[in-house]
Structures are given as structure tokens and as C-alpha cells.
Amino acid sequence: MTDDYDLLIIGAGPGGLAAAKQAAQYGATVAIAEQAQAGGGCVNRGCIPKKLMVYAAAFARLDQDAIAYGWNACDRQFDWQRFVHARNQEIERLQQIQVQALQDAGIAFINQHASFVDDHTLEVGDRKITAKNILIAVGGQPIRPNIDGIEHALVSDDLFHLEALPKHIAILGGGYIGVEFASILRGFGCRVTLMNREACILSGFDDDLAATVRQGLIDRGIESLCSTTITAIAPTNGGFNLTLDGDCPETLLVDTILCATGRAPRLDGLKLENAGVEADKTAIAVDDNSRTNQPHIFAVGDCTNRLQLTPVARAEGKAVAKTIFGQTPQPLNYDLVPSAVCSYPEAASVGMSEATARKTHGDQVRLYRTEFQPLFYSLTDRHQTNFMKLVVQGDTDRVLGVHMVGDHAGEIVQSLAIALRLGVTKEDLDRAIGIHPSSAEEITSLK
């Protein structure tokens, strides 16, 4: 019996879409089953709507900066519902673009839930569909810790459906999601208390980068509590009483709680056991080519135990299609994947942190760093310092890591990520000629 498709993909997020389009270019017959909207978490509940919120929140401080540049002051008011309507329209437009792109490529888009019947068959809605190869790209979902009253807390997905902005929000979790929403909501004028049970914020990033971002948040009026967590949530009139434990044991009264303590693969309902696919509570197990223990079943993106980043999922999806239909294994190198924190101040990083480099190279590590005020702020009364840091291997002069805090950090570090992959040395950067005046030129003169 002939299979219905050469490749059936579960999930129309970045990884699934990239794999589908790449496979179609090889002439394969491809279908995607997606129970929600095309675009996955990134388009609908993550990167895109969050970045639009970042832009919206920035106008409050830009209005103040405009006065310093000669613009008249004006009594501008923010309309949350108006913004939400505009944002949702843009998300719907992007969804339609994704569906149209699939149709144009001859890829079947089936807007139904999919689950395994056996290792080659999926039940999709009320149909059974067979495929020679299957890709699982179902993404992840926010998780809540086991805390008394945690059902009253929102998760990141919920913030995109708020009817009104909170007056005082407590954010549990100091990773990039917690930091970004703390920054956004403070920009809208909310009172924000940010806490993390381990490091203050941004565990896993370079320590100096994390400390610089944290100070920037504090300067904006965000309360940052280190080594502190919530042990109980109790509803009260107009809000919630939070019992805190750790470095800052106290009781806090807030009207909104955000739980930003991590994400887990969205595996419920897939019936992986019917296909014999190995997985635990944290991820689907895959090899270097994203292949599961079943040779014709693959998995990419946030449902695996690798980097939870949209560009990574996209690259993994393309690589799977090339592995299957291009007959060329395409393992990815995860060592030099850049990442950014879309807060204010913004941060970005690629390569090794100082701590990681010292564990690997010991005394051979050299550091170059600077702090400076960008020209933009010279006319304003706002103190804003950019931070840059290079981590260099002393015996080879090779740049191991780049870390930046400041305006446009993501754009600047993105370009440097390419240089690191090509083996750039400190001397190469010293010989480069920068654009003046710019923040990026500082990377060419670090001492």
C-alpha cells in the first residue's frame, strides 16, 4: 500500500514550516497537521506579539527623550485595547501568509489534532493518514511549579489576552521570559516585582551581562528579588497575598501573578507509545540528525532537549528535510547560537560566557570590556550606559564570546555571531574600521 505522504509533520511552528517548505523543494509530498493556528508559538504566543509589546512600551520613554531634542511635550495616553486590536490584526495577517505559502508550495495544511496510531499512521481529526516519514514539531508550553494557589497565576501565553494592564504584578522566574515581561509591563507604567529562586536574573548568561541588565531594570523602578520564591498564593479582596521565602521573606500584595519558570514539550495527546517513540517528561530523545529511536520519525524544536529558540527550530527543520530527501545528514552546531533578551536595557550574547571559558581554558582566558554612554543620550537627562565584553582565548587570540547590553544589542551581536563562526580573532577586530558615530564601532577598540 502506498503511503499518503512522503512526509507528515505534526505542528506548523517554525520547525515544521521550514521542514515542509524544504521537503517540497525536493518534490516530496508533504502535509502538516496543526490543531491551532499556523505559525506556532512564535507567531501566536511568543516572539512576534511579545516584540510588538516591546515596541509599544518603548514609546513612553521615547516621548520623554523627544522633549530633550526640542519636541514639545504632549499629553499622550496609551490605549491598551487599541494596541491589542492592532497587534491581533497583524498576527492574523501572518497566520494567513503562512497558510498561503503552504498552499503555493503544494503542501497540505490540515487544521486538526494529530496522534499516533502506529509508527507510520496518524489519526488526524476523523481521518487516518499514513506517511513514509514523520516529523514531530509540536513545540512547548509554559509550566507551573507546585505551589499552593498556583492556579491563580498566569503564564506567558495568558499575557497576550489581558483585558487590562495590571497595577502591580509579581513575576516568578528571572529567565529571559520573566525579564522581558517585567521590562515591557514597567514600560506601560505597571509596578513590577521580579523574583528568582536561584541567581538574581538570567541564569546561564554571562554574569556581567546579567548584572548590567538587572541594574538597568532596578534603575527603571523594577523590584528585583534574588534567591526568592513564592511558597503560597492566597486570594484576597482585589488581589493576592503572596508568601515569599528565601533572601527576601515577606508578604506581598499584588493584583496579578505571572509564572515564568520554564517550558515543557507539548506531548499530551500525541500517543507516542503507539509509535514506540522514546520520550520522558522533559523531551523526545533524538540523535544529532534529529532522528528518534524510530529511524523514520524525527523531532525538532522545543519538544526536544536542545535550545528553545525559533531560529534553531527553523534550522533543525530544514536539516531534517535535507537529511531525508537530500540524502545528506545535516547535524547542527549549537555552540555559537546567538540569543537576545528583548528588555530595556536590551542584551545579547553569542559564544562562551566568562565562567564557561575559564572552565575550558583556565588562565588562557583574556577579557576586554567597556562601558560608555551612547551619543543618543547625551542630550537627555537619562543615564544610559552600554556594556560590551569580549572573551578571548589567550594562546590563539580567538574570540570565544561576545556579550552586550544596550540599544540594538541583538542586531550588533547577530553580525558578530557570523564572525565568531568564521574564527575571528581579537586582532581581526582591532584592525577593522568602524562606522562613526555608532555603538557597534566600540567593538573594534576594546582594551
Residues with a catalytic annotation lie at: 436
Q: Kindly list the distances between the CA atom of residue 308 and the CA atoms of 21, 37, 64, 66, in Å, as whole numbers in the listed order.
A: 21, 20, 36, 37
3-state secondary structure 121-150: EEEECCEEEEEEEEEECCCEEECCCCCECH
C-alpha–C-alpha distance, residues 447 and 430, integer Å = 10
C-alpha–C-alpha distance, residues 397 and 408, integer Å = 26
Residue 276 corresponds to which cell in the numbers above? 514506540
- Is the omega angle on the peptide bond into residue 437 within 30 degrees of 0, that is, cis? yes
Q: Is 180 exposed, middle or buried (0-12, 13-18, 19+ CB in 10 A)?
A: buried
C-alpha–C-alpha distance, residues 201 and 168, integer Å = 19
Other CB atoms within 10 Å distance of the CB of residue 103: 11
Residue type, 253: L
Q: Which residue's C-alpha cell is 556579550?
A: 403
Q: Which residue's C-alpha cell is 498564593?
A: 233
Helix (H, G, I), strand (E, B) or coil at 406: coil
Sheet strands (E) in 89-238: 108-110, 114-118, 121-124, 127-136, 140-142, 154-155, 168-172, 191-195, 223-225, 228-236
- Which of the 8 DSSP states describes residue 71? P
Helix (H, G, I), strand (E, B) or coil at 237: coil
Q: Please, what is the angle between helix 176-187 and helix 207-219, to 10°?
A: 20
Helix (H, G, I), strand (E, B) or coil at 260: coil
Residue type, 344: Y
Angle value at C-alpha 409, between 408 and 415, nearest 5 degrees: 100
Cβ atoms of 208 and 403 within 8 Å: the answer is: yes
